[in-house]
Each structure stands twice: as C-alpha cells, then as structure tokens.
Structure 1
C-alpha cells in the first residue's frame, strides 16, 4: 500500500515550485488562483524571494502548502491508500485526499499562519530539538520543570522537539544534556508551536474550521493528534482544531500506517525531510518523492 506524506514548516527554499509553474498549465492556474485568494503574489516570493523573505509567517505556510498540493494535483500517478502530513502538512494532505477544497485549504492555512503569528506575539516562546534521548526521558524532563514546556514533535526515535516558554526551554535543554542527550538545540522559530501557548491561535482557527465545508475523503488521513486512520468528518475536524496545542505524533503515525499495510511512502512537497524520518522509524520502508 502507498502512503503519501506532506511536509511542514522548514521545507521552504528560494525558487520553490517555479519548475511546476513553468512546465504545467494546471500548476500555473492553481498558483495564479492562489495569488488571487491570498491578495498578494506569493509566487513572486516563492520564485524570486530570499530565504529570509520566505521565512515570513504569512508566506512560509501557504508556500509549502501550495508546493505540496500542486505536486499532488498535477501528478498522474497520485493514487493514495492513505495520507498524512506533518503539522502544516496535514492541511495539504486533507486537500490532496479530497476532504478540503483547494481554495478552502489555502484560506485555512493562511488564517492559521496569521493566528499563530499573533499567538507568538501574545506569548513570546520558542522550541528546541532534543537528540539522542528516549521519548519518556524527555517527557519526564518537561514535566519536572515549573514552566510551560512540553513535547511538541515526535519526529522519529531519538528526535523529539520540545516547545514552551524561553525559560522553560532553556532549563529543559540543560537537563536534557545532563541526562545524556547528544544535542539540545534551540530552533530558530517564532514561538512555541504545538503547546498550550498556542491557545489564542487555536480559538481563532476553530471558528475558521467551523465555517469551512469538509467532504468525505478518497482515503484515510492519519492525523497528528490521534496517530491513527481517520475517515469520520466530525473526528477529522475535532482533531484539526486540537492540532495547534497538541503534539505532532509523527513517529506514531508512521508506525500506524506501517501496521495498516503501508510499504511505500511518497513525499509530496519541497525537500526530503519526511523521507529521512520515515526511514528512521521503519527501515524497510520504500521512500520517494513525487
């Protein structure tokens, strides 16, 4: 069985999706419609912008979403048995498998990006990657600190990203190093994504999700929150609302897809980060890009 996976923030690069725009009329139409929906020419920044300009929140998330979804839509061989996306990538997955319309998915991603930016301004905060410790050790370290700091991204065994207040992250990194972590690396992000500090953004996004039409997908989506196959619209919406303040259970999602029969994982979007993570989670998996 084939699982299609869609990357999250950090996969962007200058020049992204330009080859799609230049070589596919369908891609060009989708990207031009995105410019109209967003109210600015995001393609100009994707094709010609600097890495710094691409990091701007209102640009990064829609840009990665667009690259990922357009790739899937113009692919002749896109026939998924299951889909999943890492954080932001979950929205790409839901458009690719037909749960969300392209326009609705793009609007939600844009609203999500702006809501997260506002939440970061309300609660200055950050994230860090902890390498070389078991998940339980990192979870216990977070629980022992009298600050907001939680496990945020279960990326693969031995790689867990934590999220929280600046003080909480600093203390957790110190304790992780004392516990034998190979690295405890603060990340260059604008805030504590997938933590309770994203509550203001969650409230904003809930309203947008409630106002959006969801349809039955062509295959199950393995969601970050539950790490299992979901097809029920009400459950998908509820999980999507919780996603911003809950951890991304990527390791568990890949394990569930493998348990349900996935042998091939195809990444749709910029970069190859998820292919690397999938191989670390399940060595026997076949991985590729669209």
Structure 2
C-alpha cells in the first residue's frame, strides 16, 4: 500500500476569517485554538477571524495564524484515523510539519512560529531587500545568471521545475529581473513581501532563533520530516535545531522534497492548511501523485 505524506503551506495563503468555521463548528478545534491564543503574548484571534487584512498581513500575525490553522486541521484529520508516514512544509509551513510530527506540542509549535515571525519582521525592516518570482526558466539557468549580478541576490524557493523565487538586495533583484527576462524567462516579477526571506541577508534572524530554541525541548519522532534546506529526512531534535537555524536564511527545496517523498513510496499527499497553493505545485512536479486539499471543516467532513 502506498504511503501518506502531510504537507503544509507557507506565507501568502492567509485570509481574514481563516479557521473561523473550524472554531465555530468543532469543540476539539475550539479547545485547541483557545489554548494557542492563551499561550501567545498578543491577540491573534481578532486579526485571524475578523481582520483587518493589513494587520493579518504582518509577518508577526501571518505566520502563527497559518501554523495554528494547519495544526488544528492536522489534529482533526488524525482524529479520523488518517496519519502520515512523512511530513514536510513550505517555508513557515515547516513549523506546522514540526508540530504534526511531534517534535513540539501544537501550542509550542505556534509559539515558536510567532517568535520567528517577529524576528523575521525585525531583520527584514533593517535590510533593504525583497523577493521576485521567476517563471519559465530552469533553476540551474537562473543560478548561472545570478552569479553575474553585483550585490546579493540568491535563488531561494525551488517551487516547481519552471518557477523559482529569488531574494536579496532590492537593487540586485531589479537588475536580476531585467537580465533574466532578456535571457528567456517568461516572467520575472517582484513579490509584495516585506523582506528577502530565505536569503543570507536573514542570517541574524537565524542567530536569534538559535538562542530562543534553548527554551524548548525538541522531541525525537517516529514520523520523518523532509527538511526544506536539504530535502533529507530528519527525526531527531538535534537535527531539527540545525534545520530551524539554517532554514531562516537557507533555501526551500520543494521540488527535491516532493521527489524524496515519491522515492520513499508516497502515493497520497494531504495539503493541510489555508489555500491550495502546494497542490498546484505538486501537480507540476509529479502528476502521478494523488493530492487532497484539507483547508476547511467541510473538507474534513467530506473525506
């Protein structure tokens, strides 16, 4: 029988009202949400359920909101007897995967995510950086061209064979978009994000996360997590500490992650959390995989 993987989306999938249907219609979900909200030093419930969008869009709120919703859906899915052999998450989605695999409890995973959101925000405001999506060109070719551009600009999200995100200094990003379009990229467009996430400019955030991790006990787990930065399996707390540090300024190797799951017998992938972004990417990486989107209470009930 084919194996099952749970995957979790990252930033950009948030929307006002996310998770509200789950909170209002499921007693277990409400209990878990209340525990999460109580465990944080700021009000996450209002921006998540009622907005305004400008507040929810701030990294400090976005990241824990996505992870909270994803992990509560994860819990409801497991309650139905569906359990993963492997987990993975895209960017901040990796923190949902950390909670799903059991490295941390649900509310601790959200709490660590909220710290990540704050430090990412803080560092992003200090560096004049950004990100851009490049479509219609292989990642190898993109990386070759980036070597010729002055300043810091790096390929950071390998989303699908013909879609790669670059990040770095604003001027270098603009120059890169120009050069990549001149050399055959179908599109190269700056993204509406507040910083150069996953690039080397974010290393100070990694240092702060490393320090914060001293307050947490990371368990070893029986469910293996595929790491963003290496696309290799992780199942011990020590390996995870290293990944959390590296991931804040390292790449998201999503294509390699999906290939790793397939190589290890995965046939069915559940995308758990807001939106359906990962389902689209996975289908472009490997059409033979069955992808099921779990993004609402209705989706859980319809399984």
Same fold (TM over 0.5): yes
Q: In the alignment, is residue 52 of structure 1 matched against residue 60 of structure 2? A: no
Quote the offset at 1:77 in angstroms: 3.1
Q: In the superposition, relative to structure 1, how do residues 189 and 51 fare at CA in structure 2: closer, same or farther (>3 Å)? A: same
Instruction: Answer whether contact 1:12 1:60 (CA < 8 A) is retained.
Output: yes
State how far apart, in whole Å, the 2-side matches of 1:40 and 1:25 are: 23
Runs of 4+ in structure 1 over 6 Å off: none
Of 192, 210, 213, the match for 2:214: 210
State how far apart, in whole Å, the 2-side matches of 1:209 and 1:283 are: 38
Could you say which residue in structure 2 is the equivalent of 1:126?
A: 130
Instruction: Answer whether contact 1:130 1:161 (CA < 8 A) is retained.
Output: yes
Could you say which residue in structure 2 is the equivalent of 1:33?
A: 35
Could you say which residue in structure 1 is the equivalent of 2:9?
A: 7
Of 237, 254, 257, the match for 2:258: 254
Q: In the alignment, is residue 77 of structure 1 matched against residue 55 of structure 2? A: no
Instruction: Answer whether contact 2:6 2:86 (CA < 8 A) is retained.
Output: yes
Instruction: Answer whether contact 1:173 1:185 (CA < 8 A) is retained.
Output: yes
State how far apart, in whole Å, the 2-side matches of 1:202 and 1:234 are: 15
Quote the offset at 1:262 in angstroms: 0.7
How far does the alpha carbon of each residue in 1:221-258 deviate from its partner, in whole angstroms, 9 at most, with x for none? 00101102221321121111100111100111001110
Query: Please, which runs of 5 or more residues in structure 1 have no aligned partner?
Result: none
How far does the alpha carbon of each residue in 1:61-101 deviate from its partner, in whole angstroms, 9 at most, with x for none? 01000110010012223300100000101110110111111
Of 176, 197, 202, the match for 2:201: 197
Of 100, 106, 109, the match for 1:96: 100
Instruction: Answer whether contact 1:148 1:164 (CA < 8 A) is retained.
Output: yes
How far does the alpha carbon of each residue in 1:96-149 deviate from its partner, in whole angstroms, 9 at most, with x for none? 111111222112101100100111111121000000001111111211111100
Of 36, 48, 64, the match for 1:62: 64
Quote the offset at 1:58 in angstroms: 1.2
How far does the alpha carbon of each residue in 1:41-64 deviate from its partner, in whole angstroms, 9 at most, with x for none? 312211111332210121100100
How far does the alpha carbon of each residue in 1:182-222 deviate from its partner, in whole angstroms, 9 at most, with x for none? 10010000000001110111111111123211112231000
State how far apart, in whole Å, the 1-side matches of 2:284 and 2:15 are: 24
State how far apart, in whole Å, the 1-side matches of 2:71 and 2:173 are: 34
Could you say which residue in structure 2 is the equivalent of 1:163?
A: 167
- How many residues end up aligned between the 2 structures? 290
Instruction: Answer whether contact 1:128 1:162 (CA < 8 A) is retained.
Output: yes
Could you say which residue in structure 1 is the equivalent of 2:300?
A: none
State how far apart, in whole Å, the 2-side matches of 1:25 and 1:223 are: 33
Query: Please, which runs of 5 or more residues in structure 2 have no aligned partner?
Result: 295-303
Of 222, 240, 249, the match for 1:245: 249
3-state DSSP of counterpart to 1:163: strand
Scaled by the length of structure 2, what TM-score is found?
A: 0.93
Instruction: Answer whether contact 1:209 1:241 (CA < 8 A) is retained.
Output: no
Could you say which residue in structure 2 is the equivalent of 1:146?
A: 150
3-state DSSP of counterpart to 1:129: strand
Quote the offset at 1:179 in angstroms: 1.1
